[in-house]
Amino acid sequence: MTDHAQPIAAPLPVVVVTPRMGVGRLVRSRSVLSGGAIFVMIVAIGLLAPVLGTVDPARIDPVARNKTPGTQRLVRNDDGTQRTVTYWMGTDSLGRDVYSRVLYGARVSLVVGISVATVSAAIGLLIGLLAGYLRWLDNIAMRVMDGLMSIPAILLAIGLVSISKAGLRSVILAIVIPEVPRVVRLVRSAVLSIREEPYVEAAVALGARTPALLARHVLPNTLAPLVVQATFVCASAIIVEAILSFLGVGIPPETPTWGNIMAEGRALFRIFPHNIFFPGIFLAVTVLAVNMLGDGMRDMLDPRTRKQL
Amino acid sequence: MYGYIARRLLSTIPVMGVVAIVVFSLLRLTTGDPAAIIAGDSATSQDVADIRTKLGLDRPIVQQFAIWIASVLRGDLGESFFFKKKVTALIAERIEPTLALATCTIILAVSLAVPLGVLAAWRRGTWIDRTVMGFSVLGFSVPVFVIGYALIYVFAIYLSWLPVQGYQRLRDGFAGFIERLILPSITLAVILMALIARITRASVLEVLNADHVRTARAKGLNELAVLGRHALRNAAVPIVTVIGIAVALLIGGVVVTESVYAIPGLGRLTVDAVLARDYPTVQAVILLFSAVYVVINLLVDLTYTLLDPRIRY
């Protein structure tokens, strides 16, 4: 039955996934291209951290504490020979190599950013689809979302991590919960406009049942704005994770994350600012790249903002 | 109009209800006995039992919620187990620095971002526009604490123009008060400016193409009058809306900025309370900040009618 609705569905979607937002278009956008290139580079740095001349990021070396960037030191190997070690980004007050910690820190930020974006997009999509389509659920769900959105995201995340054991999974969960309502709102408003489209009416008239209708006719048309939103969620999740770690309530301090490195460097910031600046620069560049990716995609989706920019 | 105000006021009740349930659940979601957590490591079993009766933890959960809500509505936010005093007293002590920081930040952000946004829209497509928008994307991406430390390094350590950290109460001298607020306010204003400038630009651009702006130009008004009187006024609604949203960013930013600049405000209190597992204080601060957010957005909605006489409810 629903197959008959397909030809009607094709020409009339509200937000078209193709061809307006094809891969070709994406690559032609300067913002998407440069944002994507930097993001891929950070991913590569995170993945290749072990082979990029790093040492164990958790290794404490009391002799090499608080070295400024570029310091070289002679280290005696076990067999008696000597080699020179260069601390490209200096060391922290426990003598850990900041360069190694910053490179390994990319992993945590990326894992948190990508998982939060995926999980909150999935949960938000489900709730948003149901709320947008089932009128009885709409009111309840949206009041709950309004309430959740009234609690400032960072405070809610701080409150949530404070009740659970500090760790990667609880940090991800604590950031997902404040992000979900933003996704729900977006998906719901897309569904509300799609459900009035003639092809949805046609599918209903042809006897499509609600689950099939949502999955085959409504869902595909919410995906494009959802991807854009997920990109922004990823950027904000990376920042919130860094803030949680920086405040000392996030991932345990021995794990190298950009926020943890900065938290460690706070006490001696006046004399050794490198502990703050190197992870700070990496953090800012990563978030900038993800935001550029999102901005570029959004401008492509919304011809109105494209014209303005 | 009065009907609208009444309806809008009523709509805040379910929202605050959800907030209250979430904040209440925060403590109940912990694995383990909340009374034992509140009592701390050195408590005796008698202490734990006392706290359990005091909080009504031996009663059904719905009843517990009712007890808690009733005391919150009476203005009793409980007692801080870490600071050993009433949470309301604690908040009263810490509110001045936060209010001062938030006020300075909003004034700074609005007074710089609105003109910049208008300028960018007016000179659309030029280097001015591109610079303003470039800074806006940058402002969204550089985290608050990175900006904070960069500013401290340049202005307090390298140039030594301003104090590095700390806070001075207003009654201990205005110069010292304002001097210590400059860097934190700039730090916190960056992200708000990014947001406000972007929305101002977009809404002014939309208005600049309108007929009445063309008419204003055609009758020979100078550009300043066209932009200020005719364009900006009609673009005011989205700009005010975004300032409502900006309050959420501001509250989140306050927590971080106060930590960077060692300002003893509510944000710093939140972090200290979380680190000390002082749940009554954490709950109270989250509840307070959420209420502020809800009230400000209520006020924003109500000012629409003042800004745009075409909006009637």
Render pLDDT for B120-146 as a digit per residue (tens, 0 to 9): 888 888 888 888 888 888 888 888 888
Contacts of B81 in chain A (CB under 8 A): none
**Lowest-confidence pick of A11-20, A126-135, A224-233, B291-300:** A11-20
Query: Binning pLDDT at 50, 70 and 90, where does residue A25 land?
Result: low
Which secondary-structure segment (H or E) carries A82? strand A82-87
Report the residue of A102, A150, A158, A257 to disrupt the B interface, i.e. the one with the largest count of B CBs within 10 Å.
A150
B162-213, pLDDT tens digit by residue?
877 777 777 777 777 787 888 899 999 998 999 999 888 888 888 888 888 8
Residue A302 has pLDDT above 70, yes or no: no
Q: What are phi and psi of A77, to 5 degrees?
A: -75, 170
Contacts of A155 in chain B (CB under 8 A): 251-252, 255, 270, 285-286, 289-290
A292/B259 Cβ within 8 A: no
Which secondary-structure segment (H or E) carries B78? none
What's the confidence (pLDDT) of residue A121? 95
CA dihedral defined by A66, B257, B176, B86, rounded to 10 degrees? -110
The DSSP result for B11-42, as a single string, is: HHHHHHHHHHHHHHHHHHTSSS-HHHHHH-TT
Q: Is A1 helix (H, G, I), strand (E, B) or coil?
A: coil
Q: Is B309 left (phi over 0), alpha (psi -120 to 50) or beta?
A: alpha
For residues B61 and A158, the model is more confident at: A158
Q: Of A151, A243, A273, which has the smallest distance from its Cβ to B290's Cβ?
A: A151
Q: Are B64 and B57 in contact (CB under 8 A)?
A: yes
Q: Angle at which helices A30-47 and A98-133 pack, to 10 degrees?
A: 120
What is the sign, positive or negative, of the torsion defined by CA atoms of B9, A183, A232, A260? positive
A243/B256 Cβ within 8 A: yes
Note if the pTM is more than 0.80: yes
Q: Between β-strands A71-76 and B79-80, what pairing exists: parallel, antiparallel or unpaired? A: unpaired
B208-242, pLDDT tens digit by residue?
888 888 888 888 777 777 787 777 877 888 888 88
What's the confidence (pLDDT) of residue A55? 75
Q: Are B55 and B34 in contact (CB under 8 A)?
A: yes
Q: Are A60 and A95 in contact (CB under 8 A)?
A: yes
A151/B252 Cβ within 8 A: no
A159 in contact with B, Cβ within 8 Å: yes
Token digits of residue B297: 């957005």
Contacts (Cβ under 8 Å, ≥6 apart) of A31: A292, A293, A295, A296, A299
A277 in contact with B, Cβ within 8 Å: yes
Q: What are phi and psi of B122, to 5 degrees?
A: -65, -40
Residue A49: DSSP 8-state: G
**Lowest-confidence pick of A140-144, A211-215, B70-74:** A211-215
Contacts of B22 in chain A (CB under 8 A): 147-148, 151, 156
B274/A158 Cβ within 8 A: yes
Of the candidates A236, A232, A229, A192, the residue with the CA atom closest to the CA atom of residue A214: A192
Closest residue, chain B, to A239 (C-alpha): B143
